[in-house]
Amino acid sequence: DIQMTQSPSSLSASVGDRVTITCRASQSISTYLSWYQKKPGKAPKLLIYTASTLQSGVPSRFSGSGSGTDFTLTINSLQPEDSAAYYCQHSYISPHTFGQGTKLEIK
């Protein structure tokens, strides 16, 4: 199975900051990677798919990059509503595992 490792596990940043979350796959997954935002009590929200394609309706301050084994999710100009957990997930081959998540706190 392909393992997905995110870093950091948690971070704290201020409104207006730029934050980067990384996701590393245990083997090459090309660009078969999605990013999700998860808030308590809410369903996950798709932010990015195929590593860098912004899902319709998602603010442009979110961006994704990477291919192969290393990927990043970048949030520019952090907003209070960005406080959430963020997960990467691959779809290269079953099982389509998630990373362990990154909890983002807004100071």
Q: Which is nearer to another protein, 17 or 101 (CB)?
A: 101
Contact track, another protein, 56-85, x by CB under 8 A: -----------------------------x
Closest approach of another protein to the CB of residue 99, in Å: 8
Q: Is the CB of 17 or the CB of 96 nearer to another protein?
A: 96
CA dihedral 104, 31, 52, 45 (to 10 degrees): -50
Position 82, amino acid: D
* 1 near another protein, rule: CB under 8 A: yes
Specify which residues 97 forms β-bridges with: none
Other C-beta atoms closer than 10 Å to the C-beta of 104 total 20
